[in-house]
Structure 1
Amino acid sequence: MRDGTGTSRARQDGWEARARIGVVVPHADVGPESELQAIAPEDVFVHGSRVHFGAMRAGGEMDPKIPHDPVRAFVEPPHIDDAVELLAAAPLDAIALGFTSSAYVLGAAGEKDLFARLARVTRGLPLTGTTTAAVAGFTALGARRIALVNPPWFDDRLSGLGAGYFGEQGFDVAHHAPCGLPSDQKLITPGALSDWIRTTVAGYRPDAVLVAGNGIRAVGVIDALERELDFAVLTANQVLFWHALHLAGAGTAARGITGYGRLFSADPPGGTG
Structure 2
Amino acid sequence: MTALGFLYPGHSAEDDYPRIEQLLGSDIRVDLVHTDIGEDAHRADALREMGSAERLAAGVEGLRLSGAETVVWACTSGSFVHGWDGAQEQVRNLARVAGMPASSTSFAFVHAARELGVRRVAVGATYPDDVAALFTEFLRAGGLEVTGMRSSGIVTAAEVGTWGEEDVLTLARAADADAAGAEAVLLPDTALHTAAHISLLEKALSKPVLTANQVTVWEGLRLADRRVNAPRLGILFTREPLVQV
| SS at 2:133 equivalent | helix
- Check 1:107–1:182 CA distance in 2 against 1; reply closer, same or farther (3 A cut): closer
| SS at 2:149 equivalent | strand
Partner of 2:139: 166
Query: How far apart are 1:270 and its partner, in Å?
Result: 8.3
Partner of 1:50: 34
Distance 1:194 1:85 in 2: 37
TM-score relative to the length of structure 2: 0.87
Aligned match for 1:143, one of 99, 110, 118:
118
Query: How far apart are 1:150 and its partner, in Å?
Result: 1.1
Whether the 8 Å contact between 2:124 and 2:149 is mirrored in structure 1 is yes
The amino acid of 2:83's aligned partner reads G
Whether the 8 Å contact between 2:103 and 2:219 is mirrored in structure 1 is yes
The amino acid of 1:262's aligned partner reads I
Structure 2 gap ranges (5+): none
Q: Which moved more, 1:103-112 or 1:170-179?
A: 170-179
Whether the 8 Å contact between 1:148 and 1:212 is mirrored in structure 2 is yes
1:177 and 2:164 are equivalent in the alignment? no
Query: Which structure: larger Rg?
Result: 1
Structure 1 gap ranges (5+): 1-17, 57-64
Partner of 1:80: 56
Whether the 8 Å contact between 1:208 and 1:231 is mirrored in structure 2 is yes
Distance 1:131 1:192 in 2: 22
Identity fraction in percent: 25
- Check 1:116–1:182 CA distance in 2 against 1; reply closer, same or farther (3 A cut): closer
- Check 1:78–1:200 CA distance in 2 against 1; reply closer, same or farther (3 A cut): closer
Whether the 8 Å contact between 1:55 and 1:67 is mirrored in structure 2 is no
- Check 1:119–1:34 CA distance in 2 against 1; reply closer, same or farther (3 A cut): same
The aligned runs of 1:171-210 (5 Å cut-off) are: 171-179=144-152, 184-204=159-179, 205-210=181-186
RMSD: 2.3
Query: How far apart are 1:99 and its partner, in Å?
Result: 0.6
1:21 and 2:1 are equivalent in the alignment? no
| SS at 1:259 equivalent | helix
The amino acid of 2:144's aligned partner reads F
What is the CA deviation profile of residues 34-76 of structure 1, one whole-angstrom value per residue up to 9, with x for unaligned ones? 11221223532221222211223xxxxxxxx633222101222
Query: How far apart are 1:143 and its partner, in Å?
Result: 0.8
Q: Which has the higher contact order (CA 8 A, sep 6+)?
A: 2
Partner of 2:108: 133
The aligned runs of 1:204-219 (5 Å cut-off) are: 204=179, 205-219=181-195
The amino acid of 2:45's aligned partner reads D
Query: How far apart are 1:92 and its partner, in Å?
Result: 1.4
The aligned runs of 1:48-127 (5 Å cut-off) are: 48-56=32-40, 66-123=42-99, 125-127=100-102
